Amino acid sequence: MDESARQALRALPAVEELLNHAAAASLLAAYPRTQVVEAVRAALEGARREILKDSTAGSALGDPGTLLAAAASLLADWQTPGLRPLLNLTGVVIHTNLGRSPLAEQAVDEVVKVARSYSNLEYDLGLGARGHRETHLEALLTRLTGAEAAFAVNNNAAAVLLLLMALAPGREVLVSRGQLVEIGGSFRLPDIMRAGGVRLVEVGTTNRTRIGDYESAITPDTAMILRVHTSNYRIMGFTEEADLGEMVELGRRRGVIVADDLGSGALNELDAYRGEPTVAASLRAGADVVCFSGDKLLGGPQAGILVGSKAVIGRLRKHPVARALRLDKMTLAALEATLRIYLDPERARREIPVLRSLSRTPADTAPLAAALLAAIDRRAPGGFITEVEETSARAGGGSMPLTEVPSHAVRIRFPEAPAASASATPTIVAFENALRHAPIPLIARVSQDSLHLDVLALDERDIEVVAESVAWAFGQVQSA
Ligand SMILES: *Cc1c(COP(=O)(O)O)cnc(C)c1O
């Protein structure tokens, strides 16, 4: 450390001195003293680090006004929720990093009600005695899917884990080599199998697995055939997978349970799903149990839903680990409300945000993009070039990985020299960064010289909010 750094460190005011400074009075009035002290200490620590990095910056960093401003900004930060809403203009409707499915209004209302109040979560109002938390849910799920029984846990990964632990402990589970999926980096089927204490038996080959491959792999120790939906990839070309009906026939004949992990799990045959396998179809084919996510195509809260025979669901419910994976009342409220909307499929398409988005056609997205463009031009006139363009968006969330959903975007460009390399221009990089830091952050798609605001997942009520974030970011880029 050189002498100027040593001097700058010594010149930093003491904590007490800053607390007694006139500028600290408003902080002490607004926040508890212990928090202000903590913020002041953190601000001083920050200044010390800066001085050690660059000793010439010393004297300015020691200014009490600057230090207290830093403390004030920390105090404000600590009050700001870390998890907060943002605008998804990526063109990926069910985006795991962005919280997957927004809830329907009705679901939000029900969550707020049970969160605020006591409820009959585990209380049977008819009997005046203890009840079960899934009673309400089970009735809806069986009605909607045709299953005998239903159960729900924290997410679909938990549903698969529970299936394995309850139905095949210490025994063999057959899975096609073409279906050994990894979902989002942390859900890898072979790892879940190990964690669940079952022995994975790989069947067939990556591209072709026939029913005979399953049959010859069955031993007295085989408890389950597990089919897994290849949610985020497709194997194409010279391929074959046994169909569920054949697996069920084999399972019945050899006394082996057939479970189907559908991943996204479209409930029924809505056109918005564009050929995704449905829960109802798997049950009709005779699967003993089917599991799927609550917050993918279903458009509800994070949950793992299990539907199937009374016998199998009963074994899941009784397993000790079920308690550890159970749903809380807010999720139950959201899930029940979401499912209730499905009783009327037309209403589901209108009110469940992900279904509404995926039901849109270019005839819907074109005027939406035009309205967004007009709102942006009104607020941030001049300085950049806006136009509406056709895009291909995606469902996301492990559904329809290869299906492009035709949509529209507002494309924003700056009049600047074309990029020297394949990466985005400095202005686009700065603009995208500013959008992420807007009071309501906006996530968009970036290309070399443009930003693309895809409207497929945009709620029309948010048009002005998007325009506001764009105008704010534009201001940041201009003043830089
Ligand atoms: C998404 C998915 C999972 C994991 O579901 P979560 O609800 O994210 O836990 C499991 N299996 C398949 C096939 C999936 O697509």
Instruction: Check if 265 has its Cβ closer than 6 Å to any atom of ligand 1.
Output: no
What pLDDT digit, counting tens, does each position of 133-168 carry?
888 899 999 999 999 999 999 999 999 999 999 999
**How far does the centroid of ligand 1 lie from the alpha carbon of residue 295, in Å?**
10
pLDDT over 70 at 64, yes or no: yes
Instruction: Check if 397 has its Cβ closer than 6 Å to any atom of ligand 1.
Output: no
User: Can you give the pTM of this predicted structure?
Assistant: 0.91
pLDDT over 70 at 205, yes or no: yes
Instruction: Check if 260 has its Cβ closer than 6 Å to any atom of ligand 1.
Output: no
Percentage of the chain exceeding pLDDT 70: 96
Query: What is the model's pLDDT at position 419?
Result: 65
Query: Which numbered atom of ligand 1 lies nearest the CA of 229?
Result: 13
- For residues 331 and 361, membership in a common domain is answered with no
Query: What is the model's pLDDT at position 447?
Result: 92
- For residues 341 and 368, membership in a common domain is answered with no
Percentage of the chain exceeding pLDDT 90: 77
pLDDT band at 40 (very low <50, low <70, confident <90, very high): very high
pLDDT over 90 at 359, yes or no: yes
- For residues 216 and 75, membership in a common domain is answered with no
- For residues 30 and 119, membership in a common domain is answered with no
Contact 456, 95 (CB under 8 A): no
Query: What is the model's pLDDT at position 312?
Result: 97
Answer whether residue 19 is part of any domain.
Answer: yes
pLDDT over 80 at 480, yes or no: no
Instruction: Check if 331 has its Cβ closer than 6 Å to any atom of ligand 1.
Output: no
Instruction: Check if 100 has its Cβ closer than 6 Å to any atom of ligand 1.
Output: no
pLDDT over 70 at 58, yes or no: no
- For residues 256 and 362, membership in a common domain is answered with no
Of the listed ranges 4-18, 175-189, 276-290, 386-400, the least confidently predicted one is 175-189
pLDDT band at 57 (very low <50, low <70, confident <90, very high): low
pLDDT band at 382 (very low <50, low <70, confident <90, very high): confident
pLDDT over 80 at 417, yes or no: no
* Cβ within 8 Å of residue 453, ≥6 positions away: 89, 372, 409, 410, 411, 412, 442, 444, 445, 466, 470
Residue 287: CATH number of its domain: 3.40.640.10
Strands 222-228 and 405-413: unpaired
pLDDT band at 55 (very low <50, low <70, confident <90, very high): low
Answer whether residue 100 is part of any domain.
Answer: no
pLDDT over 80 at 273, yes or no: no
CA distance 30 to 16: 18
pLDDT over 70 at 169, yes or no: yes
**How far does the centroid of ligand 1 lie from the alpha carbon of residue 283, in Å?**
19
Residue 465: CATH number of its domain: 3.90.1150.180
Answer whether residue 459 is part of any domain.
Answer: yes
Q: Which residue has a Cα nearest atom 8 of ligand 1?
A: 156
**How far does the centroid of ligand 1 lie from the alpha carbon of residue 403, in Å?**
19
- For residues 245 and 143, membership in a common domain is answered with yes
* Cβ within 8 Å of residue 23, ≥6 positions away: 64, 65, 68
Residue-number span of the structural domain to which 421 is assigned: 87-95+356-479
- For residues 162 and 263, membership in a common domain is answered with yes
Query: What is the model's pLDDT at position 402?
Result: 65
pLDDT band at 271 (very low <50, low <70, confident <90, very high): low
- For residues 297 and 429, membership in a common domain is answered with no
Number of domains making up the chain: 3
Query: Which numbered atom of ligand 1 lies nearest the CA of 397?
Result: 1
Instruction: Check if 398 has its Cβ closer than 6 Å to any atom of ligand 1.
Output: yes
Ligand 1: residue of 98, 160, 187 to mutate (most ligand atoms within 8 A of CB) is 187
